[in-house]
Each structure stands twice: as C-alpha cells, then as structure tokens.
Homo-oligomer: A and B are copies of this chain.
Amino acid sequence: MVARLTDAERAALAVSLPRWTLVPAAAGQADAIRRRFAFADFSAAFGFMARVALLAEQQGHHPDWSNVWNRVEITLSTHDAGGLTAQDVRLAQAIDRLDQA
C-alpha cells in the first residue's frame, strides 16, 4: 500500500505544487489537493480533460473531477490510503505540465 504523505511532505506541496490548494481532512473525508482550471470554451476544456484522462489511465490513478462548460476542477486523493500520497503529487505534476504545454 502506498504510504500517506508525512507532515513535512504535505507542507512542501506549497512549493512543489503552488497552483494546487490543500484541502484538509474533514469528517469522513480524506485530505486532498485541488486545482481549478478555466479555458476559452467547452472545446478547450474537453481537449484538456481528454489529456488528463490519458495521464490518469497511464498512471493507474484517477481524479475526482468536474466540469461546467469552460471550467474544470480536479481533486486528487488516494482512496486506498485514506489521504494524500506520492501518487497524487505525481499526477498533479503531470497535469501541471499539460497546462504549460
């Protein structure tokens, strides 16, 4: 099983993933990271979603995500581990690279 991030690793996310927000654990919910994206229109948003889907399947790790027209919100957490792990960091970094491409 993948280990959850330590407190030090969690604190380091502010530097390594500055565009993601740490969502603390709440009652019945694991902690997570979240990023919101806005595109020109639905087409651009969906083209991005197709690429995120490819990343997710490639990494065997899938987002909790939603879309409304030009907006996409992605939340990452590792359900099996009950919170944030290195798998979430890796997927977030790959998603960030798409956005810069």
Contact = CB atoms under 8 A, between A and B. Distances in A.
Given A42-B56, A46-B50, 12 more contacts: A42-B57, A43-B51, A43-B54, A43-B98, A44-B51, A54-B54, A54-B57, A57-B58, A58-B58, A62-B69, A64-B66, A65-B67
A68 B58 contact: no
Nearest to A70: B62
Q: What secondary structure prevails in chain A residues at the interface with B?
A: helix
Interface in A53-101: 53-58, 60, 62-69, 98, 101
A1 interface: no
7 contacts: A42-B54, A43-B54, A43-B98, A46-B54, A49-B49, A55-B57, A66-B66
